[in-house]
Structure 1
Amino acid sequence: MSSGAILDGATKEHLLNIQTEHLEDHRVRFTVEFPRERLQEAEKKAARNIAKQVRIPGFRKGKAPYRVLIQNGLGQAIMEDAIETLSKTIYGEVMEQSDIEPYGPGVFEKYEDGTTPTFIYTVPLQPTTKLGDYRSVRREYDEPVVDEADVDEEIEKIRQSRATRREVEGDIESGHIVMADVHAVYADDPPVVEEDEDGTEAVEEEVVEPEADAEVETDEDFDEDDFEEEDDDVPPAKGETCFRQVGTEIILDPDHEAVFHGFNDELIGAKAGDELEFELVVPGPNDEKYNGDVDWLPDAGRLIHFNVLIDKVEEEVLPELDDEFAAEITAEQGETLTMDELRQRIHENMQTRATNEYKDSYIAGVIDEIVEMSEFAYPPLMVEEQIDNKVAEMEQRLSQMGISFEMYTQMMGGDIEQIRATYREEAEVSVRRMLAMGEIVQAEGLTVKQAQIEKHVDEMIAYFMEVQENSDERSLRNLFSKPESMQRVVNEILNDMLTERLVLIAKGEEITDPEDETAEATEPETEVDAAANDEEQQTTEPTAEADDQESDLTEDQENKQS
């Protein structure tokens, strides 16, 4: 803890006594004592402002004296207004005299009215990173190679997506698509449930065989009005409906049962218009016929009676893999390729994708190793910002599915903090990775040249012009010329440069001296200065703390955060 006082250029009335305490979570706490005269002066100003907003009987608006405002119960409002205004002013004076590097706006914690009035603030500090010997990291680099079999598989997927259907008049075969009404009912009694001496339930293993003359419910007997919802804990009785589907599509995939084992086989050989009746036993986890479908586990061992009315049978017709097929596929991209050219294009795209995915995974592993050998210090605010980003991403994904974040929160128990807590560990990892990467960029002297920015912007504009109809090049260039867009471009280029550098490091390959590669940073100085000014503005005023939430005290800061 250290102490000091603001003396230079200050009158006795503005004298401050500042106690500085460095907290364990990379924040600083300022305890600031100031003359009571300053608070009294702030109260008078607050009283004049409040007097203009209220009507006091016997006085014109804004003319009621201080003592009358107090007598009319406005003392608390005056004090709160005075503290809010004065806390901002004194915070600015403290930051001017302090030598700390704040990460973001400070928080006004509280006012203490002792012998000397006191304000207490906490300020997050800029993070610090002490890298380990990251150039010693080594990892085997085994980039995947896309072969012709991979290309064949990809082309087959495209071919399957272009398949058409035609109706089949003959017998049903494996691979056909069947449209049918399916009604399934339980054809046996449920296992008898008894209680052991300790009070737990014991299921009798013996299955009761159905009676020979037992009636099985058919479609004609089924009446929705007679259906009553049963207790979930009571197993369905014999004759109850298991499920009923009308006009359902059944794909007779030889590698996947439409219901459970044996169902597909019962349909083979039938025709459109046939009505089938058959019974199957639901396989359990110990049955070799069990395919891992957990939905049927509660009914394992039960006998199910099926009534299947076949309406229509179809088969897929796949297009021929020829130049006409290739031309049709590529015409959508504004070009016409032959089959050989299409294969080459697919091979190149698949190789690029596989390489990028592998490189991303490879670099993530390298960075994680570097993080493990490095030391970090950062304020909690950085983690909270990462959590904010992840919650915002989740909210966007939910919105795309037609689910509001409020609805999701209610589904999860209505506790937003519990949702945020699920992202905390991931956010901590993200902060450390980000700090490590930023420090490596500095250590390696990586900078971006103007030509790189121009090339990157040209490529992005060309891409948008290709995929978006009626795109206007001038509008796109204006968009990319904005400071925030330009900074994103620079960050993307730096990220690519860092990726390539880390690959060389981890593979143990020779690296050119950074001094031979560096060039002037390409962001216009005015933009960099503006960004720096924004950061400085964040440190000139604290935020008020209410209900354990930090909020900015200035409109500019609120707009920045939003």
Structure 2
Amino acid sequence: MKIETTPREDHQLTMTVEIEQDQMEGAKRRSARQLAKRGKIAGFRPGKAPYNVILQNYGEQAVIEGAIDILLEEVYPKALEEAEIEPGAQGSLEEMESLEPPKFVFTIPLKPEIDLGDYRKIRMDYKFKAPGKAELDAKLEELQRMYANTAEVERPIEEGDYIKADIVGKKVGAEGDDAVVFEKNDHPIFVTEKKREGEEPFVGFAKKLIGASVGQKKSTTKTHSEDDANEDLCGAKVKYTTTINVVHGTELPALDDEFATKLGAQSMDDLLESIEKSIEDESRSEYDDEFFTALIDKIKEDATIKYPPQALERETELVIEDMSQRLSQQGMEFEAYLKMQESTLEKFTEEEARPVAEKRLERGMIFDELAQQEEIEINDGDLETEFNQTMMNLASQGYNFNDVKGGARAQKAIANNVAQQSATQLMTRLTLDRMKDIATGDFAKAEKEAAKAAKEAKKEKEAEKAKVAEEKKAEETKEAEASEEKGEEASE
């Protein structure tokens, strides 16, 4: 067997394998026997027809194709072993270069490789700032509005009101039916100063109604952007006339213990404490996502990352699968989503899924390599704590193991899945903590202090050892002097 390998730029190898002609001839005869067993040849029992008769009945091409399939199962793994190649995925036969001599040309994807460079020199400040009173008040108001009472009022519109209005939008300067670009009767509107995506007829419309009263008509003119989602409005100047039909004001509940108990808290103090923790955890999570994404991207700048196209294709498939599952949980089919977006699978794959997959693949490689380089390990005690916490979280969400169908075996399978999930979560957290410590310089400082402490401990140990040796020597000297004195006394 002769083997030649040629590296490719896409992290694959071209492997050309030449075998002896006798191997091909032997494989052709085995192929012919297989063909004869599957079919009938007049005058012969299945599998007993001579080779030349089989060739006449099935043709040499069919025999050769079967021989190639037979040889592939033998030649490919043996060639990998002899060439000491560890593929990253299943290789493929690109072509049969020749039949005499038999020469196979394979394309072999290599295992992904990564060199992080000197990532321990990278520095990034961690500047998380906990939410303050403004964020707490905003969350409290949000909860109050969830439990607010609404009633029709006879006063000008205020922020937080719910109204119904007739709205007609006409292009300025246009006439006839083409002039009307927006028309809705009894259109429900929540009045707020904040911008809300998807607000009709345009973002920021509701706040322009503040101060108007029932029965009043209010006009406002809007010049839409050139890239407006509605093609009819791109660059158009539109005059919107609004007639207020009804105004409902909101009565917020008092912030007291009674309100707190409605939300599952024991008291208002407990509710405040719970909300503070919740918004801080949420805020920290958002900050951490941005921090670690930026940190990994910074590490990537000096890293060398190589992987075959098959790895990216597989990650792209996973991105599409994840998207499809999320849509399914929301009651929408992936095909319906594509249609709604006026897209196709090919377009979605190329423009959305593949870029996401590339980032996810490379960030995952960086993360895994960091964990390995830093020798991050999980101890049994931490894993048990993480497992118990995950189980408590599931229980708090109403999950009951006793309701699982399938008995003890099913419960064990679920427990194993939870254990695996807990291990992954713990490994992720430990690795992220190490990354943060490295980036902020805390790890280098801790290493320096540890080295200093070890040096001082060694120095103290050596000093103690020297002291013991000195005391032992002094004791031996004392004993020698005492022995000498006894000897002198005896001689007298």
Please indicate the TM-score interval, normalised by the length of the shorter structure. Answer: 0.7 to 0.9
Q: Which amino acid aligns with 1:351?
A: E
Work out which of the residue numbers 276, 294, 315 in structure 2 matches 1:365.
Answer: 294
Q: What one-letter code is carried by the residue in structure 1 that aligns with 2:349?
A: I
- For 1:507, the aligned partner's letter is T
- Which residue, out of 290, 313, 316, partners 2:250? 316
Bigger Cα displacement from structure 2, 408-417 vs 27-36: 408-417
Give the match for residue 84 of structure 2. Answer: 99
The counterpart of 1:441, out of the listed 371, 380, 400, is: 371
Contact 1:188 1:237 in 2 (8 A): no
Counterpart contact for 1:189–1:237, Cα < 8 Å:
no
Aligned with residue 467 of structure 1, among 391, 397, 408: 397
2:308 — aligned with what? 379
Give the counterpart of 2:64 among 79, 94, 108: 79
- Matches of 2:209 and 2:385 in 1, distance apart? 60
Residues 361-370 or 67-76, more deviating:
67-76
Compared CA separation, residues 174 and 367, structure 1 to 2 (3 A): closer
SS at 2:223's partner residue?
coil
Structure 1 residues 35-85: Cα deviation after superposition (integer angstroms, max 9, x where no partner): 222223223323333333334455555555544443344543333232123
SS at 1:70's partner residue? helix
Residue 399 (1) aligns with residue 328 (2): yes
Match of 1:269 in 2: 213
Contact 2:31 2:67 in 1 (8 A): yes
Letter aligned with residue 372 of structure 1:
E
Residue 25 to residue 243, structure 1, CA distance change in 2 (3 Å): closer
Q: SS state of the match for residue 268, structure 1? A: coil
Distance 2:308 2:40 in 1: 46
In structure 2, distance between residues paired with 1:187 and 1:414: 34
Identify if the C-alpha distance between structure 1 residues 36 and 263 changes in structure 2 by more than 3 Å, giving closer, same or farther. same
Aligned pair in 2 of structure 1 residues 268, 487: CA closer, same or farther (>3 Å)? closer
Task: Assess, with a 3 A threshold, how the Cα gap between structure 1 residues 97 and 488 changes in structure 2: closer, same or farther.
Answer: farther
Distance 2:191 2:352 in 1: 42
Shift of 1:154: 1.0
Change (3 A) 1:348 1:281: closer
Count, aligned residues? 434
CA distance in 1, matches of 2:49, 2:420: 54
Q: Does 1:329 align with 2:263?
A: yes
Partner amino acid, structure 2, of 1:164: N
Match of 1:173, SS? coil
Range that drifts further, 57-66 or 464-473: 57-66
Shift of 1:111: 1.5
Q: TM-score, normalised by structure 1?
A: 0.67
- Residue aligned with 2:222, SS: coil
How do 1:68-217 residues align onto structure 2 when only pairs under 5 Å count?
A: 68-73=53-58, 75-168=60-153, 170-171=154-155, 173-175=157-159, 176-179=161-164, 182=166, 184=168, 186=170, 190=174
Q: Which residue of 1 aligns with 2:3?
A: 18
Tell me if structure 1 keeps the 8 A contact 2:296–2:363: yes
Structure 2 residues without counterparts, runs of 5 or longer: 452-492
Q: Which ranges of structure 1 fall in alignment gaps of 5 or more residues? A: 1-15, 191-235, 287-291, 331-335, 517-562
Give yes or no for contact 1:251–1:258 (8 Å, CA) kept in 2.
no
Tell me which residue corresponds to 1:548.
none
Higher Cα Rg: structure 1 or 2?
A: 2
* Residues 379-528 of structure 1 mapped to structure 2, 5 A cutoff: 379-407=308-336, 414=344, 416=346, 419-420=349-350, 422-472=352-402, 475=410, 477-481=412-416, 486-509=419-442, 510-512=445-447
Judge conservation of contact 1:367–1:436 (CA < 8 Å) in 2: yes
CA distance in 2, matches of 1:444, 1:366: 16
Q: Deviations over 1:6-30 (max 9, x none)?
A: xxxxxxxxxx111122223222222
Paired amino acid for 2:113? T
Identity %: 26
Counterpart Cα distance in 1 of 2:118 and 2:107: 34
Change beyond 3 A, Cα 1:283–1:404: closer
**Structure with bigger RCO (C-alpha 8 Å, 6+ apart):** 1
CA 1:86–1:285 in structure 2 vs 1: closer, same or farther (change >3 Å)? closer
- Give how far 1:255 is off: 6.4
2:148 touches 2:251 (CA, 8 Å); kept in 1? yes
The alpha carbon displacement at 1:329 in A equals: 0.4
Q: Conserved in 2, the CA contact under 8 Å of 1:391 and 1:420?
A: no
Aligned to 2:34: 49
After superposition, the Cα gap between the structure-2 partners of 1:293 and 1:167, relative to the gap in structure 1 and judged at 3 Å, is: farther
TM-score by length of 2: 0.75
Distance 1:239 1:89 in 2: 74
CA spacing shift, 1:452–1:98, aligned 2, 3 Å? farther
CA contact (8 A) 1:409 1:416 kept: no
Contact residue 17 and residue 104 of structure 2 kept, 8 A: yes
Letter aligned with residue 319 of structure 1? P
Instruction: Give the direction of change, closer, same or farther, for the CA distance of 1:161–1:50 in structure 2 (3 Å limit).
Output: farther
Deviation at 1:343, TM superposition (A): 0.3
Q: Do the aligned residues in 1 keep the contact of 2:171 with 2:180 (CA within 8 Å)?
A: no
* Matches of 2:29 and 2:156, distance apart in 1: 92
Helix, strand or coil: the match of 1:283?
strand
Query: Are 2:249 and 1:353 equivalent residues in the alignment?
Result: no
**Deviation (angstroms), 1:366:** 2.3
Higher normalized helix content (fraction of residues): 2
